């Protein structure tokens, strides 16, 4: 059976904030080594996602 990988690119339209944050949480939770957050407009909502990372994952 052939394995099909999901696209690594996503587009979110106006009103899809839940979908965007859901993907962000999944990405943070799936990290295995480190996370680098680059966001000029970071807010408390974004920072509240960081505790979803695994314990052994470093963050910058």
pLDDT, position 48? 92
pTM of the model: 0.74
| DSSP calls for 3-59 | --PPPS-----TT-HHHHHHHHHHHHHH-SSEE----TT--HHHHTTGGGS-TT-EE
| Tokens matching residue 36 | 């680098």
**Residue of 15 and 60 predicted with greater confidence:** 15
pLDDT, position 5? 67
Are 20 and 12 in contact by the 8 Å Cβ rule? The answer is: yes
What would the pLDDT profile of 5-55 be if each residue is shown by its tens digit?
667 788 999 999 999 989 999 999 999 999 998 888 888 988 899 999 999
CA atoms in the 13 A half-sphere facing the CB of 12: 10
């Amino acid at each position: 059976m052939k394995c099909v990988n999901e696209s690594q690119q996503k587009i979110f339209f106006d009103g899809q904030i839940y979908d965007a944050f859901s993907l962000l949480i999944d990405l943070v939770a799936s990290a295995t080594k480190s996370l680098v957050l680059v966001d000029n407009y970071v807010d408390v909502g974004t920072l509240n996602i960081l505790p979803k990372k695994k314990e052994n994952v470093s963050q910058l």
